[in-house]
Amino acid sequence: MIDLSPLSDAVGTLFSDYDVLAAFWMTVKLTGFSLVGSLVLGTLLAVMRVSPIPSLQLGGAIYVNLVRNTPLTLIIVGCSLGLYTQLGLVLANPSSGTFIVDQNFRLAVVGLSLYHAAFVCEALRSGVNTVPLGQAEAARSIGLTFTQSLVLVVLPQAFRGAVAPLGNVIIALTKNTTVAATIGVAEASYLMKVMIEFRPDVLFLIFGVFALGFVCLVLPVGILMTALSRRLAVAR
Amino acid sequence: MDDVTGGTNDPGGTPLVELVDVQKHFGDLHVLKDINLTVRKGEVVVVIGPSGSGKSTLCRTINRLEPIDSGSIRVDGAELPEEGKALARHRADVGMVFQSFNLFAHRSVLDNVTLGPVKARGIPAAEAKAEAMTLLERVGVANQAHKLPAALSGGQQQRVAIARSLAMHPKVMLFDEPTSALDPEMINEVLDVMIDLAHEGTTMIVVTHEMGFARKAADRVVFMADGQIVEEATPEEFFTAPRSARAKDFLSKILTH
Ligand SMILES: Nc1ncnc2c1ncn2[C@@H]1O[C@H](COP(=O)(O)OP(=O)(O)OP(=O)(O)O)[C@@H](O)[C@H]1O
Ligand SMILES: [Mg+2]
């Protein structure tokens, strides 16, 4: 038998010296808030892009193509330097003792939401394409307005058709939260860098712990979304 | 005909749908040429003609799913609105039944029928539901009310689609080849519902090649070819003694099938 006790001792000290769970909790919070933000903004963008109004279509297309093709790091750093340092956008209470932490967290959420909204928009548009034209025509033919047709008939089916691609966006978002470390948000990868600096002797162990942590976060999302996409699929 | 509509073919009836000099192009293709057609209240008009002759386009212009280039279309005396809420209200007054049913795939059969009355007309949900059940009863699918459309046969789906249109109490009903996507054994269950509607005095414009329906229910047959109305006659006249060469040719083709 291989003696595993040195390994389990090392894991034990790592977990007692560093708050790994708190760091992953920060990752979860970043993911959750950014997901809500990007879903709201992404839906709006998708509505703009499928609307019959050319200026809205153009606005949506410009946003998506600009944001989607910009590195996330640039957007996050841009939020920090541009929105906060330059424009003075304050998202947290400046007199609170945790101002810097809160401010950075919220800036990161803004950046992640802005970025992933572009992908949510495209996932939804692919969902819209799964809805046959006849559905919207039937909706209009019973006297629903454009907005009613969209909200009552097209979007509900589009969301169902978009579950699988939306799942991919959530998975990417979860992993992309690590970029928030660049503006000092103490999420999982931030803690990992700190730990590697102080415990280079157990480098691979540290990698292993964080890789496993991310797999544990992301794997259920994938499984859940696949199951959901089957359950919600619109039978035609 | 000795049906209850009595006198629907009376030339003095009120015009309900009037198309005057309607022109429509798809790019270079001239799909509707000088269309002049008046359909009176209670009248049943069957539109027949070769594939690509513009029958669907004609139907779709009447509820403005397709805009026209020039000419005018009036329903119950009012010119078709261009956009927005007024157009939505107009469409609520014009029922449309599609070849491919187009039931809302994510909603139950009952919801399909109540959606329009509740959302477009603002009728209370309970009232709309009660009427929907009556309509579903009438078209013979009340026992399927809580299923999703995909669980129904094509014939049942098309009857639900008819109920969905009827729920809006439209002034006129448009049918675009309502039985062409159906298996042969389901065609009659849909046609029977349509014949009942016709006999109750519903104003209907029906694109179909079902001669049985035309003979039993239609007041007039309109024959289209190449975007034009080539011939108008009673079903009896049209099927037994077509006047134009195009119609003779067309009939000889569908009769041999
Ligand atoms: N959206 C469109 N864009 C371009 N061309 C179109 C469009 N819809 C129809 N057409 C063309 O217009 C012509 C008339 O089409 P329409 O569908 O009205 O014919 P139809 O008489 O209903 O034929 P069918 O019996 O095949 O249904 C056809 O040549 C068709 O290809
Ligand atoms: Mg057609």
A164-217 pLDDT, tens digit per residue, is 999 999 999 999 999 999 898 899 999 999 999 998 888 999 999 999 999 999
Q: In the prediction, which pLDDT does B1 show?
A: 39
* Residue range B59-78: mean pLDDT, rounded: 93
* Residue range A36-65: mean pLDDT, rounded: 95
* Residue range B19-36: mean pLDDT, rounded: 96
Residue B9, pLDDT > 80, answer no
| pLDDT averaged over every residue in chain A | 91
Report how far ligand 2's centroid is from the alpha carbon of B36 (Å).
19
How does residue A51 score in pLDDT terms, banded at 50, 70 and 90?
confident
CB contact under 8 A, A236 and B105: yes
Q: Which of residues 78-117 of B touch A (CB under 8 A)?
A: 84-85, 88-96, 98, 100, 102-106, 115-116
- Beta strand B172-176 with B204-207: parallel, antiparallel or unpaired? parallel
Residues 6+ apart with CB under 8 A from A235: B105, B148, B150, B151
Task: Give the atom of ligand 1 at the shortest distance from the alpha carbon of B49.
Answer: 21
Q: Chain A: residue nearest B61 by CA?
A: A141
Q: In the prediction, which pLDDT does B256 show?
A: 66
CB contact under 8 A, B102 and A152: no
Residue B145, pLDDT > 60, answer yes
How does residue B2 score in pLDDT terms, banded at 50, 70 and 90?
very low
Q: In the prediction, which pLDDT does B4 show?
A: 39
Q: Which of B102, B148, B160 to mutate to test the interface with A (most CBs of A within 10 A)?
A: B102
Residues 6+ apart with CB under 8 A from A58: none
Q: In the prediction, which pLDDT does A10 show?
A: 81
How does residue B84 score in pLDDT terms, banded at 50, 70 and 90?
confident
Q: Which residues line ligand 1 at a C-beta cut-off of 6 Å?
A: B 26, 29, 31, 49, 51-57
Q: What letter represents residue B14's amino acid?
A: T
Q: Calculate the alpha carbon distances from B102 to A57, B143, B204 in Å.
A: 26, 20, 19
Percent of chain B with pLDDT over 70: 95
How does residue B80 score in pLDDT terms, banded at 50, 70 and 90?
confident
Q: In the prediction, which pLDDT does B36 show?
A: 96
Q: In the prediction, which pLDDT does B5 show?
A: 39
Q: Cα(B206)–Cα(A58) distance, rounded to whole angstroms?
A: 40
Q: In the prediction, which pLDDT does B257 show?
A: 57
- Greater confidence (A17 vs B191) lies with B191
How does residue B52 score in pLDDT terms, banded at 50, 70 and 90?
very high
Question: For the packed helices B109-120 and B125-138, what is the interaxial angle rounded to 10 degrees?
Answer: 130
Residue B117, pLDDT > 70, answer yes
- Greater confidence (A15 vs A2) lies with A15
* Residue range A38-45: mean pLDDT, rounded: 96
Q: Which residues surround ligand 2, an ion (CB under 5 A)?
A: B 56
* Residue range B130-157: mean pLDDT, rounded: 96
Q: Chain B: residue nearest A234 by CA?
A: B106
Q: In the prediction, which pLDDT does A9 show?
A: 84
- Greater confidence (B82 vs A210) lies with A210
Q: Cα(B145)–Cα(B132) distance, rounded to whole angstroms?
A: 9
CA-closest candidate to residue B173, choices B46, B70, B11: B46
Q: In the prediction, which pLDDT does B254 show?
A: 81
Q: In the prediction, which pLDDT does A11 show?
A: 82
Q: In the prediction, which pLDDT does B6 show?
A: 39
How does residue B106 score in pLDDT terms, banded at 50, 70 and 90?
very high
Q: Chain B contacts of A145, Cβ < 8 Å?
A: 84-85, 88, 120
Question: For the packed helices B84-93 and B109-120, what is the interaxial angle rounded to 10 degrees?
Answer: 130
Residue reference for tokens 């956009």: B83
